[in-house]
Each structure stands twice: as C-alpha cells, then as structure tokens.
C-alpha cells in the first residue's frame, strides 16, 4: 500500500474542497435553523460526479473505490458542511446493491446513484434491538395472493427518510425448512402504503433529521429483495464496512474544520502581549488533537484501501478501528478548538460549539465505542466473547 495519493486523488480532493468551500458552516447552520435541506450542495456534488465516484463505471459511475468516496466525504465535512446522506446512500446503499444486487437491481439503481438523482436511506436499528442485530424483529412474509412480501415492524434513528426516494430495510425472513429467521434486505420506496415515519426531536442541530419508521403490512414486490433470499447476510456486511469507513471520513473532516478554526483564532487572538497560541496551554491541546486526527485519517485510508482490495476480514477490523479512532480524535479536536475560543467557543458565530453534538454522536453511532472494543477484544486479541 502506497500512502501517497495519486494525481487523480489529489485532484479529486482539491476539487471537492473548492466546491464545498462555496457553502461552508454558515450555510449548514442556516439550513438547520430554517428546517431546509442541503439540496444545492447535494446537487453540485452530484453534477460534478463526486457522489458516484465509487459506482462501477459500467453503470455511469467513476469506477473508483472507497478510498475516493472517503476523500469526498472528508473534504465536504472539512468545509464545515458535512453531508450525512453520503454515508447512507452512496456508501451503504450503493455498495450493497453493487456487490449483492441482482442484474436488474444494479441496472435500475446504480446509474441513479452515479448521477445523484436518487437518494436512499438505511434502516437497521430498532427500538428494542439496539446494537444487538440478532434481535431485529422487523419481519418479511410472503404474500400468498399477490406474490412479493409484506413488511411489519419498527425502525429507529433512521437518517434522512424525509429526503430520500427509498429506504434499504433490514428485515428477517422465515426459513420454511427450519422455521428460523434469517436476515434479508429490501428496497422500499418511501411512498409505499403501510410505511410511515415521524421525526425524533434531537439535541443536535442538523438539516438531516432522524426518524422512527413504521411498517404496517407494507407490500413490496419480489424485485425489492436485494440479491434474492440467500444473499441477506452477505448483502448486509457489504454495507456495514463502508458505513464505518465513511463515518470515520466524515468525522475526520469535521475535526479538521474545528482545528482550522481553533488554530486561526489562537494565532489572531491577543489578550496580553502575544497571541494566545503562543501559550502552551492553548497550543498543546490543539497540537495533540492534530496528531490524533492525522492518525485517524491514516487508519481510515487503510480501512478504505483494504475494502477496495476485497479483503473483507481485514477491512472489518480496520473499519471498526478507523471509526473508533476518528470519533475519539474528533471529540478532542472540537474540545480543544472550543477551549481555545474561550467564551466565544460557545457562540454560534464562531462555528465550533455547533460541532459538539455532531462529534459526540460519533462515539455512539453507527456502532458504539463499547461494541467496537468488544469486536477488537474478540476478533483481534482472541479474548472470550463478552456478549
């Protein structure tokens, strides 16, 4: 693995950064305050081909990989205007369909992921399951009269359902031979009768909202089942590693934005004879956070590279570690930036206090710090399973 970016990757990074700089953190906060969506930013990113950079070229995408998609997610976030839907639509949904979908599903959906004309949310979490995906109770049963499937159940903390065209839903099928339930994934249009949703009031201010989603005997046709009845587990894992990797990239970008703001303020703010950045009490926390963020970025690039190489076992470990490292580094980076600003750190005007909730949530979602440590303890260190 060569850690130096190619000329194409450097061009991608600078181009995305230039586009995102036209929007910035004030744009994001204004959208959050007014209840509007980041439609213009999404449209610009789509028109430039950034959202479809990892979609196979034969379906109109960039034909690159997860490394390039992490560059896109990170640079948009580094401008202070992150797009959470990059994680759930191009990263999770498009990756699942590209790797596990049928030919018809790929032809139907991938060109639209490539040009950004479709957005798809992802529904796995449930009120009573939490991190235990084995307890998912949303079920799919055959409709004996019409064919197709009937979905019943509830999903919780589902991002952006109100601005997506369809939702990739993790449910369970009954194995008629054994009577056991096994995972399956369905593409469910958001206007499907029997599918409803309501917003969850959040402490985090973001244009992208969280929802509880209900399926009340919602009907979907046979071709909504991703990859067929035997593809469920493989399809699910095709989406979880990209989710963790792009969340790490997204959070790395926010951390970079915070450090840039913190360092700029520390260089300019003078209370006594010299700028406050000359004082180690201010400089060292920012410097330490920079080290941690750069290490997290390296971990994220490595995880993306392993995913692109097709080494799923190594990518699983690396994706979890990258997400862990990015969340911890970002929390420290935002804290250092807020502290450097003093009282101004809690003012919306200075654009760092508004990041506290976003980076703190990364320690919890899409998988908690504790569950990552459980995974590493068991799979990396060979310790007994703790749950």
- Domains of the chain, start order: 7-119 (1.10.540.10), 121-230 (2.40.110.10), 233-380 (1.20.140.10)
Dihedral of the alpha carbons of 19, 366, 352, 42, in degrees to the nearest 10: 20
Could you give the CA distance from residue 221 to residue 146 in angstroms, rounded to a whole number? 9
List the structure tokens of 112. Answer: 């639209």
Q: Cis peptide leading into 366, omega within 30 of 0? A: yes
CB atoms within 10 A of CB 184: 25
102-126 residues labelled b (16+ CB within 10 A) or e (exposed):
eeebbeebbbbbbebebbbbbbbbb
- Alpha-carbon span 88 to 90, nearest angstrom: 6
What is the structure's pLDDT at 386?
A: 86
For tokens 């230039």, name the residue.
Answer: 18
> pTM for the full model?
0.96
Backbone angles phi, psi at 347, to 5 degrees: -95, 135
Q: CA of 253: how far to CAs of 20, 56, 273, 367, in Å?
A: 12, 25, 33, 19
The conformation of residue 131, written as its DSSP 8-state character, comes to T
Q: What is the pLDDT of residue 129?
A: 79
Strand intervals (E) in 160-236: 166-174, 181-189, 195-199, 210-220
How are beta strands 139-142 and 149-159 bridged, if at all? antiparallel
Residue by residue, pLDDT tens for the chain (387 residues) are: 788 999 999 999 999 999 999 999 999 999 999 999 999 999 999 999 999 999 999 999 999 999 999 999 999 999 999 999 999 999 999 999 999 999 999 999 999 999 999 999 999 999 987 767 778 899 999 998 999 999 999 999 999 999 999 999 999 987 666 666 788 999 999 999 999 999 999 999 899 999 999 999 999 999 999 988 777 777 787 789 999 999 999 999 999 999 999 999 999 999 989 999 999 999 999 999 999 999 999 999 999 999 999 998 899 999 999 999 999 999 999 999 999 999 999 999 999 999 999 999 999 999 999 999 999 999 999 999 988
**C-alpha distances out from residue 148 to 226, 267, 380, Å:** 13, 63, 41
For the beta carbon of residue 373, count every other beta carbon within 10 angstroms.
13
| CA-only gyration radius of the chain, Å | 21
Q: Distance between the two ends of the chain, CA-based, in angstroms?
A: 35
Query: Cβ(113)–Cβ(52) under 8 Å?
Result: yes
Q: Which residue shows structure tokens 């096994």?
A: 182
How many angstroms separate the CA atoms of 309 and 328, rounded?
27
φ, ψ of residue 181 in degrees (nearest 5): -100, 140
- According to the model, what pLDDT value does residue 175 have? 64
Give the separation between CA 35 and CA 207, rounded to whole angstroms: 6
Length reported for the chain:
387
The CA-atom distances, in angstroms, between 147 and each of 144, 167, 267, 323, 371 are 6, 21, 66, 41, 39
Q: What is the pLDDT of residue 177?
A: 62
- Which residues, in sequence order, are bridge partners of residue 196? 214
pLDDT score, position 86: 97
The pair of structure tokens assigned to 161 is 């359902």
């Amino acid at each position: 693995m060569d850690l130096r970016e190619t000329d194409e990757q450097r061009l991608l990074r600078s181009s995305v950064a230039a586009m995102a700089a036209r929007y910035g953190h004030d744009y994001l906060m204004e959208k959050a305050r007014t209840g509007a969506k980041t439609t213009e930013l999404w449209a610009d990113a789509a028109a430039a081909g950034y959202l479809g950079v990892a979609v196979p070229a034969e379906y109109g995408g960039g034909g690159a990989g997860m490394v390039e998609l992490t560059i896109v997610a990170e640079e948009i976030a580094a401008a202070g205007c992150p797009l959470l839907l990059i994680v759930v639509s191009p990263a999770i949904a498009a990756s699942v369909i590209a790797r596990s979908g049928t030919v018809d599903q790929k032809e139907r959906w991938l060109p639209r992921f490539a040009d950004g004309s479709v957005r798809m949310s992802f529904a796995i979490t449930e009120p009573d399951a939490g991190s235990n995906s084995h307890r998912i109770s949303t079920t799919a049963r055959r409709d004996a009269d019409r064919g197709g499937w009937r979905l019943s159940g509830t999903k919780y903390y589902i991002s952006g359902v109100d601005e997506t065209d369809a939702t990739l839903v993790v449910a369970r099928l009954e194995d008629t031979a054994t009577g056991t339930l096994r995972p399956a994934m369905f593409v469910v249009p958001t206007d499907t009768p029997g599918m409803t949703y309501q917003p969850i009031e959040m402490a985090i201010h973001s244009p992208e909202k969280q929802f509880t989603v209900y399926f009340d005997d919602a009907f979907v046709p046979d071709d909504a089942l991703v990859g067929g009845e035997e593809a469920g587990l493989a399809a699910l894992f095709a989406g979880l590693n990209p989710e963790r990797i792009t969340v790490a990239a997204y959070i790395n970008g926010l951390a970079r934005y915070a450090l840039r703001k913190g360092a700029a303020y520390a260089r300019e703010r003078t209370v006594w004879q010299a700028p406050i950045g000359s004082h180690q009490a201010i400089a060292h926390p920012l410097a330490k956070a920079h080290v941690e963020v750069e290490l997290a970025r390296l971990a994220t690039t490595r995880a993306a590279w392993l995913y692109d190489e097709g080494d799923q076992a190594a990518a699983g470990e690396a994706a979890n570690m990258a997400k862990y490292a990015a969340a911890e580094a970002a929390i420290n980076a935002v804290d250092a930036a807020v502290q450097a600003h003093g009282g101004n750190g809690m003012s919306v005007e200075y654009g760092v206090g508004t990041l506290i909730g976003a980076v703190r949530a990364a320690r919890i979602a899409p998988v908690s710090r504790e569950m990552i440590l459980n995974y590493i303890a068991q799979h990396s260190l060979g310790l007994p399973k703790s749950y």
